[in-house]
Amino acid sequence: MEFSVGDTVQLKSGGEVMTVEGVSAGQVDCVWFNAKKVERSTFDVRTLESFKNDFSGF
């Protein structure tokens, strides 16, 4: 799967919704908030999936 800067993603196993900051060589740099603290980490592209908001119920 390809991701672009600004995409929202989530680990396939669940967890926080993250924003893609960068992509290179199969690695995805992500940023998210943990309470009020900004967290950053790099993940293998195979461990992530696109996060889709479903606001159809509103």
Q: Sign of dihedral through CA atoms 50, 23, 21, 13?
A: positive
Q: Does 31 reside within a domain?
A: yes
Number of domains forming the structure of the chain? 1
Q: pLDDT tens digits, residue range 8-40?
A: 999 999 999 999 999 999 999 999 999 999 999
Q: Does 18 reside within a domain?
A: yes
Residue 56 has pLDDT above 70, yes or no: no
Residue 57 has pLDDT above 70, yes or no: no
The number of beta carbons lying within 10 Å of the beta carbon of residue 28 is: 24
In terms of residue numbers, what domain contains 17? Answer: 8-50
